[in-house]
A and B are shown apart, each in its own frame.
Chain A
Amino acid sequence: MQYQSQAVAKPYFIAAIGLFVGQILFGLIMGLQYVMGDFLFPAIPFNVARMVHTNLLIVWLLFGFMGAAYYMIPEESETELFSPKLALLTFWVFLVAGALTIVGYLTVPYATLAKFTFNDLWPTMGREFLEQPLVTKVGIVLVALSMLFNLTMTVLKGRKTSISIVLLMGLWGLAVFFLFSFYNPSNLVLDKYFWWWTVHLWVEGVWELILGSLLAFVLIKVTGVDREIIEKWLYMIIAMVLITGIIGMGHHYYWIGTPEYWQWFGSVFSALEPIPFFMMTVFAFNMVNRRRREHPNKAAVLWALGTGVMAFLGAGVWGFLHTLAPVNFYTHGTQITAAHGHMAFYGAYAMVVMTIISYAMPMLRGRAANSEKSQVLEMWSFWLMTVAMVFITLFLTAAGILQVWLQRVSTEPLGFMAAQDQVTLFYWLREISGVIFLIGLVLYIISFFVKGETKEAA
């Protein structure tokens, strides 16, 4: 690491990994509840487990993005961070607020939590992914503003690179579009319409700017390819992201009461959404093939390439699978959606955070790369988690196809629960894959503690 203040990234990365473990444990609980309905009931009902699972995902990715930004921005700007103290304070505020929220989910009934946090005064809770109490939502905004202030001041006083500008735009966009989570009209259709302005414009919009800039940063470092070339790719990729993705939001507006023309806009534009992900894959492989140096951190290169491939498969291919309106008519709200959600979040966002952690963490610990032994273990964890996620996705897809057939296509449609009973086998297989994923994650954590011969960071 070249600037002392980059060190503030370290606690962010550690917290991200810790919350990631929590996310996976709750995923396993839910997976088991799919086949053993009374597991942990009534202590942890499914809706609580799911809220913890998805909220932990969001929060650990945010920790990862923030850690990445605090690491990258000083190096890109060639100056110390504006205020490392503020960054550390922000870290603790976010961690404590996040932890208290999760404890709240787990210890009191959700309705009680809503009451104690004055949800009646300004109702925002109880909507998918935005379940946080109002006070937590306000906290998220304050944390984001503190980070944006800190990073923007740093960029303003230093070198302005395309990577840091794209990263800042992504993070500003994240904060701005989160504001829609405070708008909850009593008209469900309006509520859903603008709920997507947070959810879709995050994951299929501004988050991809963050993803692109993280990937570009690591590729510059590990390949030594000329910055001009990498930044040109970055702009082309994010141009395609927003050109396809903004109107691609129409694929959420097929069946929620919105006019039918969205079926055309949504189908055409979201059918193009795989293009930027394909470009990302080509980009990653191209840059690694044209590398001008052999970086000792082989694991980081593997994560970078993996991000390109898995983001394309999960977000691109599995998204396309059910994005056309005539297909989505049958698949909407089934296990097909769950399959896509799992591989897309892992392939695009979980993996890019692990890419930047893989690159930056050794630097933060004073070496160019981890020891050979440590890297071998990290690469094992890469393959275990990634292959396990591929199988989770395949099993959920199989369950989803059967569900659609039994419940929505066949001449004598089964009821929801009757159809679910028919696909239990696939839920068991998914749970087994989930256990493999957890093993991979445990190895990943162990890899941080494996010693061995290392070279000092340059």
Chain B
Amino acid sequence: MSQAFTKSMARNIFFGGSAFFFLLLVALTFDTMQVLPKRDHRENITPAVERGKMVWEKNNCIGCHTLLGEGAYYAPELGNVYARRGGGEFIKAWIKSRPAEGTPGNRRQMPQFNLTDQELDDMVAFLKWTGEINTAKWPPNIEG
């Protein structure tokens, strides 16, 4: 860099540029917050959905699965699992039937979380609501 370009000019670009783009982020965030209710259908967040999110978090499901593509890549995407498995019955039966000591053979294991019937219903409500978020057509197909 030439001598005409001084450290204080570089510093000004840093402070000016950062401040400008942070303000732009705040502005875009403000706009996003206005638009989101139409995309996340928050009117459908029932107490069951709220409790279901708690069940999801308390059992660290994100440690194996992705949800809307975020999380761990060890187990299937669950953002669209409600649609993929044709409703909640499969989901509940699957979670309930994991053997505590593991499935025989060299398969990836899902723990037995000992969820109550209420917790299972809440989890399904949460996954159903999640599946209805407008995600710009992601994932590419039903396999997630």
B-binding residues in A (CB < 8 A): 30, 33-34, 36-38, 41-42, 45-48, 50-51, 110-111, 114-115, 119-120, 123, 125-128, 131, 162, 184, 186-193, 228-229, 231-233, 235-236, 238-239, 242-243, 246-247, 249-250, 253-260, 262-263, 265, 329-330, 332-335, 337-338, 407-409, 413-417, 419-420
Q: With A46-B109, A247-B24, A416-B77 in contact, is A258–B59 under 8 Å at CB? A: no
Whether A34 pairs with B74 at a CB distance below 8 angstroms is: yes
Whether A235 pairs with B11 at a CB distance below 8 angstroms is: yes
Which residues of B58-109 are within 8 A (CB) of A? 58-64, 66-77, 100-103, 105-109
Contact with A along B3-42 (1 / 0, CB 8 A): 0011100110110011001101100110110011001101
A408 to B77, CA, bound (A): 12
Q: With A37-B106, A186-B53, A257-B36 in contact, is A42–B100 under 8 Å at CB? A: yes
Q: With A128-B70, A338-B73 in contact, is A265–B28 under 8 Å at CB? A: yes
A127 to B54, CA, bound (A): 11
Give min CB distance, A451 to chain B, whole Å. 42
Q: Specify which chain A residues have a CB less than 8 angstroms from the CB of B129 in the assembled complex.
A: 188
Beyond the given A42-B112, A50-B63, A255-B138, could you list 10 further A-B residue pairs with CB under 8 A, ordered by the A residue number?
A38-B105, A42-B102, A119-B57, A184-B57, A242-B17, A243-B17, A258-B32, A259-B39, A407-B143, A413-B141
Whether B11 pairs with A416 at a CB distance below 8 angstroms is: no
Give min CB distance, A130 to chain B, whole Å. 10
Whether A36 pairs with B106 at a CB distance below 8 angstroms is: yes
Q: Specify which chain A residues have a CB less than 8 angstroms from the CB of B49 in the assembled complex.
A: 186
Q: Specify which chain A residues have a CB less than 8 angstroms from the CB of B24 in the assembled complex.
A: 246-247
Whether A414 pairs with B74 at a CB distance below 8 angstroms is: no
Give min CB distance, B134 to chain A, whole Å. 6
Whether B61 pairs with A47 at a CB distance below 8 angstroms is: yes
A189 to B136, CA, bound (A): 13
Q: Specify which chain A residues have a CB less than 8 angstroms from the CB of B60 in the assembled complex.
A: 47-48, 51, 110, 125-126, 131
Give the contacting residue for B70; candidates A30, A231, A256, A330; CB below 8 A: A256
Give min CB distance, B29 to chain A, whole Å. 8
Q: Specify which chain B residues have a CB less than 8 angstroms from the CB of A242 in the assembled complex.
A: 14, 17-18, 21-22
Whether A257 pairs with B39 at a CB distance below 8 angstroms is: yes
Give min CB distance, A332 to chain B, whole Å. 4
Interface of chain A: mostly helix, strand, loop or mixed = helix
Give the contacting residue for A334; candidates B73, B112, B141; CB below 8 A: B73
Whether A46 pairs with B113 at a CB distance below 8 angstroms is: no
A126 to B53, CA, bound (A): 10
Q: With A50-B63, A110-B60, A189-B36 in contact, is A239–B10 under 8 Å at CB? A: yes
Give min CB distance, A453 to chain B, whole Å. 40
Q: Specify which chain A residues have a CB less than 8 angstroms from the CB of B68 in the assembled complex.
A: 188, 192, 255-257, 333
Whether B111 pairs with A126 at a CB distance below 8 angstroms is: no
Q: With A50-B72, A257-B133, A333-B77 in contact, is A236–B109 under 8 Å at CB? A: no
Whether B108 pairs with A415 at a CB distance below 8 angstroms is: no
Q: Specify which chain A residues have a CB less than 8 angstroms from the CB of B1 in the assembled complex.
A: 229, 232-233, 236
Whether A335 pairs with B58 at a CB distance below 8 angstroms is: no
Whether A333 pairs with B76 at a CB distance below 8 angstroms is: no
Whether B64 pairs with A127 at a CB distance below 8 angstroms is: no
A177 to B107, CA, bound (A): 39
Whether B69 pairs with A333 at a CB distance below 8 angstroms is: yes
Q: Specify which chain B residues have a CB less than 8 angstroms from the CB of A128 in the assembled complex.
A: 62-63, 70-72
Whether A192 pairs with B143 at a CB distance below 8 angstroms is: no
Closest B residue to A229 by beta carbon equals: B1
Whether A247 pairs with B21 at a CB distance below 8 angstroms is: yes
Give the contacting residue for A408; candidates B17, B58, B63, B143; CB below 8 A: B143
Give min CB distance, B109 to chain A, whole Å. 4
Give min CB distance, A209 to chain B, whole Å. 9
Q: With A257-B135, A259-B32 in contact, is A333–B70 under 8 Å at CB? A: yes
Give the contacting residue for A254; candidates B13, B107, B136; CB below 8 A: B136
A71 to B67, CA, bound (A): 41
A331 to B97, CA, bound (A): 31
**Taking each of B32, B56, B130, B144, which has the highest tally of chain A beta carbons within 10 Å of its own beta carbon?**
B32
Q: Specify which chain A residues have a CB less than 8 angstroms from the CB of B66 in the assembled complex.
A: 333
The 7 residue pairs across chains A and B that have the minimum distance between CB atoms: A47-B63, A126-B57, A333-B69, A235-B10, A255-B138, A37-B108, A239-B14
Q: Specify which chain B residues have a CB less than 8 angstroms from the CB of A265 in the assembled complex.
A: 28
**Taking each of A247, A253, A332, A417, which has the highest tally of chain B beta carbons within 10 Å of its own beta carbon?**
A332
Q: Specify which chain A residues have a CB less than 8 angstroms from the CB of B56 in the assembled complex.
A: 126
Q: With A235-B13, A247-B21 in contact, is A125–B57 under 8 Å at CB? A: yes
Closest A residue to B75 by beta carbon equals: A416
Give the contacting residue for B58; candidates A51, A110, A229, A253; CB below 8 A: A110
Q: With A37-B107, A258-B39 in contact, is A46–B63 under 8 Å at CB? A: yes
A228 to B9, CA, bound (A): 12
Give min CB distance, A30 to chain B, whole Å. 8
Q: With A42-B101, A254-B138 in contact, is A232–B6 under 8 Å at CB? A: yes
Q: Specify which chain A residues have a CB less than 8 angstroms from the CB of B53 in the assembled complex.
A: 186, 188, 191
A330 to B139, CA, bound (A): 8
Q: Specify which chain B residues have a CB less than 8 angstroms from the CB of A38 in the assembled complex.
A: 102-103, 105-107, 109
Whether B5 pairs with A232 at a CB distance below 8 angstroms is: yes
Q: Specify which chain A residues have a CB less than 8 angstroms from the CB of B142 in the assembled complex.
A: 413
